[in-house]
């Protein structure tokens, strides 16, 4: 990062308006560190479930691990409190850094606030730090669930176990042939034992377990696939309507362009939920990784105009709900990054009045490596720096609430840049660049797309990737 920009970013936190969220995360980190320098409440009180494959984890950074059926047979609580997860908790209490949490350790070693603070804050309530030290089978405060793989899109970085359209493609065309590997091989997909049946032991256990944990939940989030294509999502909506929880944030992560009348069905259910005050708040997480045509390329099958129409309808009809753009930060996100950030500001100015309706988050894509931002040259990363400058020039202040950008949002883009500029090792870099070329050649052939046309900003990088393969 150039020194002027780096200095300006530092000044943002030292001399300008600080959000309570940012300050609370910093304060909570001090409390966590009193217990242990690796202590994270998310490991106790947060759970993400992928029921089609029977896997669980506490956040999206560590890899998910299998839920042993023998543990599940004893109690549906094993959806969250697996023996494996209990061992990781013991390590944290002892001050050890679990290897699976290395994403956060790397950020902290760079001097950044990691998701250990932010994700702990998201589940925090009085007494949880003390309870975590003695509770063997804690009930989650944050629960995220994927009921099945149904999806109408084929996102470039996604996989058949999360998308039926991806599954159809590899069944028809086979695996993508990359350096030494068949990517998304149909045989590998079958080996996962994907079970989308409502009779799956994992789905059955979920519905047995859910009434027990529902009263203490702070956040319940449904993901996919595309959750608006799944009957269980609407079963949850019906449950909530019948069993209000006024402390709950209810959420879905959607591509915001489901087929048929599913979007309107969702809007109608949401209106009933909010009219009944059945939840404290509803959050729609909109998965979108760039803007316009480039977003359509990354998320194959997306109609951006339909998505934009749907999200503006949602925002116009807002009552007790809001929207967060989830930008899975990948190499193809970079050219349109600043445009995206500017459009977020536009939507904030249009819809934010006396509260924050429009948010965004930037989880980093780790795999596949050929789409990682770590492949980017300094020139390719420039849009991140440009967006930081833009966000700093449009800050939220105590007198200008909800219209500008918050300090922790700038911090997230800053740490994304710092993470991205740490390159892969030379061998990983070369293999990833070769695979970028091989993957998108097959992608364009199978899907009738053209990466050079849609991403002219990347022509030099694309040529360099092709040249590497030409030499082998």
Each residue's pLDDT tens digit, 149-184: 999 999 999 999 999 999 999 999 999 999 989 999
Q: Which two tokens stand for residue 141?
A: 């405060």
Q: Which two tokens stand for residue 190?
A: 């079958």
Q: Which two tokens stand for residue 24?
A: 């609370």
Residue with tokens 């316009």: 292
pTM, to two decimals: 0.89
Give the torsion through C-alpha atoms of 325, 316, 396, 362, to 10 deg.
Answer: 0
Distance CA 359, CA 345 (A): 10
The DSSP 8-state label assigned to residue 114 in this structure reads: -
Q: Which two tokens stand for residue 355?
A: 């509260």
Distance CA 62, CA 43 (A): 10
Distance CA 369, CA 159 (A): 14
Closest alpha carbon to 59 in 45, 69, 71, 72: 45
Distance CA 417, CA 30 (A): 25
Q: What are the start-end ranges of the E strands in 231-293?
A: 245-254, 279-287
Q: Is the dihedral of CA 294, 388, 358, 43 positive or negative?
A: positive
Q: What are the start-end ranges of the E strands in 224-320?
A: 245-254, 279-287, 299-300
Contact indicator for 50, 62 with CB cutoff of 8 Å: no
Closest alpha carbon to 145 in 214, 88, 98: 214
User: Any idea what the Cα angle at residue 277 is, between residues 276 and 279, rounded to 5°?
Assistant: 125
The CA R_g of the chain, rounded to the nearest whole Å, is 22
Low-confidence ranges of the chain (pLDDT < 70): 1-19, 319
Contact indicator for 250, 172 with CB cutoff of 8 Å: no
Distance CA 395, CA 129 (A): 33
pLDDT of residue 352: 87
């Amino acid at each position: 990062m150039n020194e002027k920009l780096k200095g300006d970013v530092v000044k943002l936190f030292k001399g300008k308006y600080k959000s309570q969220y940012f300050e609370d995360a910093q304060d909570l980190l001090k409390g966590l560190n009193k217990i242990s320098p690796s202590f994270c409440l998310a490991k106790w009180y947060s759970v993400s479930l992928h029921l089609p494959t029977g896997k669980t984890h506490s956040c999206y950074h560590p890899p998910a691990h299998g839920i042993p059926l023998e543990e599940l047979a004893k109690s549906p609580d094993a959806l969250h409190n697996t023996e494996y997860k209990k061992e990781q908790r013991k390590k944290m209490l002892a001050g050890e850094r679990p290897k699976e949490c290395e994403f956060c350790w790397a950020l902290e070693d760079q001097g950044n606030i990691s998701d250990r603070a932010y994700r702990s804050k998201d589940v925090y309530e009085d007494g949880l730090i003390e309870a975590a030290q003695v509770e063997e089978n804690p009930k989650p405060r944050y629960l995220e669930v994927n009921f099945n793989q149904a999806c109408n899109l084929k996102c470039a970085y996604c996989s058949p176990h999360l998308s039926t359209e991806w599954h159809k493609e590899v069944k028809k065309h086979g695996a993508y042939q990359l350096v030494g590997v068949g990517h998304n091989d149909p045989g590998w997909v079958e080996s996962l034992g994907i079970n989308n049946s409502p009779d799956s032991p994992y789905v059955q256990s979920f519905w047995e377990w859910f009434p027990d944990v529902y009263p203490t939940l702070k956040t319940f989030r449904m993901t996919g696939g595309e959750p608006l294509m799944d009957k269980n999502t609407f079963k949850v909506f019906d449950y909530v309507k019948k069993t209000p929880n006024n402390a709950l944030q209810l959420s879905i992560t959607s591509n915001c362009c489901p087929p048929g009348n599913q979007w309107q069905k969702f809007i109608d259910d949401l209106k009933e939920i909010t009219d009944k005050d059945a939840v404290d708040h509803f959050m729609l997480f909109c998965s979108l990784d760039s803007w316009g045509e480039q977003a359509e390329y990354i998320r194959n099958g997306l109609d951006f105009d339909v998505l934009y129409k749907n999200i503006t309808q949602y925002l116009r009809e807002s009552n007790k709900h809001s929207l967060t753009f989830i930008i899975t930060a990948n190499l193809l996100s970079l050219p349109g990054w600043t445009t995206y950030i500017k459009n977020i500001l536009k939507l904030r100015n249009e819809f934010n009045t006396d509260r924050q309706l429009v948010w965004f988050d930037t989880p980093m894509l780790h795999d596949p490596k050929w789409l990682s931002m770590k492949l980017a040259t300094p020139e390719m990363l420039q849009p991140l720096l440009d967006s930081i400058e833009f966000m700093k020039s449009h800050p939220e202040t105590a007198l200008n609430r909800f219209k500008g950008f918050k300090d922790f949002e700038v911090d997230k883009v800053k740490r994304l840049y710092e993470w991205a500029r740490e390159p892969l090792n030379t061998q990983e870099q070369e293999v990833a660049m070769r695979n970028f070329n091989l993957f998108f050649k097959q992608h364009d052939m199978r899907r009738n797309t053209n990466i050079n046309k849609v991403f002219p900003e990347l022509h030099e990088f694309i040529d360099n990737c092709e040249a590497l393969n030409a030499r082998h």
